[in-house]
Amino acid sequence: MSKAMLVVGIILLAIITFGAINIVQNYQTGNELDYYLLRETTEAAMTDAVDVGYYRLSGLLRIDKEKFVESFVRRFSQNVANNRTYDIGFYDINETPPKVSILVKSETSAAVNGDAMSITNKIDAILESKYYKNKLITEMTRSGELDYSEVD
C-alpha cells in the first residue's frame, strides 16, 4: 500500500510541476512577444505617420499624432493573441522631434487566487534621420524659385 501511495504522490508532484512550468513559460513567452510586438509596431507606425510634405519643405521630420495612433492601434490589433486582454496607453507623443512613449499592459490566462498575472511593457521611441539639410530645397531657395521663410 505504501508503494502505491508513493507512486500517486510522485504523479501528483509531476502534475503540479508541469502546471507551474506552464505558467512560468506562458508569462516569459508573453512578455518577450509583447515587447517585440510593441517595438516593431511602434517603429512601423512612426514611419507611417511621417509628414512627407513638411519634410519636403523644411528637411525636418515630423509625425502626425492622429495618424500615428490610428496606425499603431490597427497594426497592434492585427498581431495580438486573442487569449489576453490588452490595455494600451499613450503617455507622450511629440510631433517635432518625433518621440512617443507607449505603455502596454496585458494579463495572462493564468490566475492565482483570482488575480491574473499582468505583463507591462513600456517603450520610448525617437525617430531620427541621417539627413540634416535637404540639398534640393536649399538650392531652389537660393535661386529664388522657392520662398519658404514662413516654415517653422
For residue range 95-149, list pLDDT tens digits in order: 888 999 999 988 766 666 666 677 888 999 998 877 666 666 556 555 555 555 5
For residue range 19-35, list pLDDT tens digits in order: 877 776 766 666 778 88
For residue range 36-89, list pLDDT tens digits in order: 889 999 999 999 999 888 877 777 788 999 999 999 999 998 988 777 788 999
pLDDT of residue 133: 62
104-141 burial by CB neighbour count: b if 16+ within 10 A, else e?
bbbbbeeeeeeeebebebeeeeebeeeeeebeebeeee
Give this prediction's pTM: 0.68
